Structure 1
């Protein structure tokens, strides 16, 4: 069976974006007449057939926000807060936001979001990492312009805004080392998401630069890689003096586990998190972390998407928003102890 021709196939041959091809084939503004004719001629030559969705309406004044259901099981989640930031930025630009949860079933079956099928939105922002094959399907469907937030894939070309997880965890791990810690574990499942993977490599870089050997038994998973569902953290047999966690939620779960074992943070062991976002009623301890600038991420994502919708020039690919370290109460300074012992 011959492989169907996608928008990206036409775009690559002409050296233009998917959005340009989509606009040309839909007779929308933002494409020169010469390029429009080239695209249409190549599409016909390659045997391109449009998606089953009929020609969408324009100018709805709505932007869709698609979030995998596994990330918003609780109203107080990190991604729910990110969604609220996006809605605020949309409102400031005269747009309404329509949220839709992406179920596991729809993701696996590669089903278009209902808000796209019903032509309710002018564009879509995807918050949280979807499966690669689903994002590839949605990105190449040619239905509406798309932006992603807090995830990326180097094997695919799409537009996204992310926090600087690599540098942030590098800074946090170096801070632990500066505070006298040499035995440092990483808590998170590498490759579960692009964000966790970046943070893992930031941790690795800090160890390498400081001549500290990476210990496999101190790479502690916190979730199922395929589903991103968190599970109970298992403490290592030989305990480190500090844990670098991929998120504040993971850090809070770890602290709970440590307390159950009779250990106190930071008296007995130190902990750092990431994102500076704590779930309500999980822990009273203020965790040293790396604050994610959600306000700037949301603003950049919304502004870029609106430029895409209006056919204006925009920054393509991955845009990185830096944050900053927030020092709180969860790290013990071992240097004072070491100086007394010497």
Structure 2
């Protein structure tokens, strides 16, 4: 019985990697035409058989996905992206991929320096997990020949697929929920233009306020993070206006937890004195003693969709680039008091 020819057999004969062979045979970028022709010719000579649709997943084996996360997303108590990375790592492994993680330093982003795992050319695709600056995203797109995908943010580039949660309607539903509980004096806590998700959540809040005929006071749009680093303020640094609303819509649960700690330090109680809602349904244990009403991000679905799109990108399948919006749902807990 003839031995089944594998990608590794072709790679060994030509002294190249399995990833290079896979790219050449599947028509992906990143392989010179002369080398591609040699690989295809040798594959024909050895009788290599392209896998069936059922076997296609095996093409992923030996290919590595680079996952880039900005170091600002690993500040104290902020492990949302660590959990998302763990889920993504499991899904990639199940699909046959290796994955490599690198935290991108502030100076790499500021000075437009390629991450090490990308610069060494040992990945077949890159996932940017969590927001990077538009300048850095443009820089990466100009330098990389492998597929790029965004997870949990987008930068309005038509070239790139992105998977995001439904931030606009999440912010809208949370604000509507507070109105349903009798609140009309409602503030938004989040540095509005710092990330695309915060902007979308603010716009959802704004839509609800407008529909209820309530003007938004400038002093009730409250900054929650450092302008340069993007790191969320501690309770000691978070600044609140002299005139306070009855309720706060926070752009994430971590900010909601910081706000609750700040209010408690000032002698108030949540929800007795103020109502607070967050976003994500994820907060580091011990950050806050109050169970926060929130809009839950469907992290498992976002991760599965990421791998699904990656498979198409890796196989050079023809489909239009777009933003994939994953809806979540409201989770009621104990941080809101009804006024009526």
Q: TM-score range by the shorter chain?
A: 0.7 to 0.9
Q: State the partner residue of 1:195.
A: 197
Query: 2-side partners of 1:95 and 1:263: how far apart?
Result: 50
What is the Cα deviation at residue 72 of structure 1? 1.6
| Runs of 5+ consecutive residues of structure 1 not aligned to the other structure | 1-19, 30-57, 336-342
Secondary structure of the structure 2 residue equivalent to 1:334: coil
What is the Cα deviation at residue 100 of structure 1? 0.4
| Runs of 5+ consecutive residues of structure 2 not aligned to the other structure | 1-25, 37-59
Distance 1:305 1:274, change over 3 A: same
Q: State the partner residue of 1:209.
A: 211
Counterpart of 2:267 (choices 240, 262, 271) is 262
Distance 1:211 1:26, change over 3 A: farther
TM-score (structure 1 length as normaliser): 0.80
What is the Cα deviation at residue 120 of structure 1? 2.0
Q: State the partner residue of 1:234.
A: 239
Instruction: Kindly indicate whether the alpha-carbon contact (under 8 Å) linking 2:78 and 2:254 is maintained by their aligned counterparts in 1.
Output: no
Instruction: Kindly indicate whether the alpha-carbon contact (under 8 Å) linking 2:170 and 2:295 is maintained by their aligned counterparts in 1.
Output: yes
Instruction: Kindly indicate whether the alpha-carbon contact (under 8 Å) linking 1:59 and 1:122 is maintained by their aligned counterparts in 2.
Output: no
Deviates more, 1:265-274 or 1:64-73: 64-73
What is the Cα deviation at residue 183 of structure 1? 0.2
Map 1:157-196; keep pairs closer than 5 Å.
Answer: 157-196=159-198
Instruction: Kindly indicate whether the alpha-carbon contact (under 8 Å) linking 2:158 and 2:322 is maintained by their aligned counterparts in 1.
Output: no
In the alignment, structure 1 residue 321 sits paired with structure 2 residue 326: yes
Deviates more, 1:198-207 or 1:97-106: 97-106
Residue-by-residue CA offset, 1:269-294 (whole Å, 9 max, x unaligned)? 10000000011211121100000011
Instruction: Kindly indicate whether the alpha-carbon contact (under 8 Å) linking 1:251 and 1:272 is maintained by their aligned counterparts in 2.
Output: yes
Secondary structure of the structure 1 residue equivalent to 2:143: coil
Query: 1-side partners of 2:173 and 2:163: how far apart?
Result: 20
Q: State the partner residue of 2:29.
A: 23
Counterpart of 1:139 (choices 138, 141, 144) is 141
Query: 2-side partners of 1:26 and 1:69: how far apart?
Result: 35
In the alignment, structure 1 residue 289 sits paired with structure 2 residue 294: yes
Instruction: Kindly indicate whether the alpha-carbon contact (under 8 Å) linking 1:180 and 1:334 is maintained by their aligned counterparts in 2.
Output: yes
Counterpart of 1:251 (choices 249, 256, 279) is 256
TM-score (structure 2 length as normaliser): 0.80
Write out the 4+ residue segments of structure 1 that deviate beyond 6 Å after TM superposition: none
What is the Cα deviation at residue 262 of structure 1? 0.9
What is the Cα deviation at residue 154 of structure 1? 2.3
Instruction: Kindly indicate whether the alpha-carbon contact (under 8 Å) linking 2:128 and 2:151 is maintained by their aligned counterparts in 1.
Output: yes
Distance 1:75 1:179, change over 3 A: closer
Deviates more, 1:149-158 or 1:132-141: 149-158
Query: 2-side partners of 1:128 and 1:221: how far apart?
Result: 20
What is the Cα deviation at residue 97 of structure 1? 1.4
Distance 1:157 1:224, change over 3 A: farther
Residue-by-residue CA offset, 1:21-71 (whole Å, 9 max, x unaligned)? 982874498xxxxxxxxxxxxxxxxxxxxxxxxxxxx97421111001111
Aligned-pair RMSD on alpha carbons?
2.1
Instruction: Kindly indicate whether the alpha-carbon contact (under 8 Å) linking 2:117 and 2:123 is maintained by their aligned counterparts in 1.
Output: yes
- Count of aligned residue pairs for this structure pair: 288
In the alignment, structure 1 residue 301 sits paired with structure 2 residue 303: no
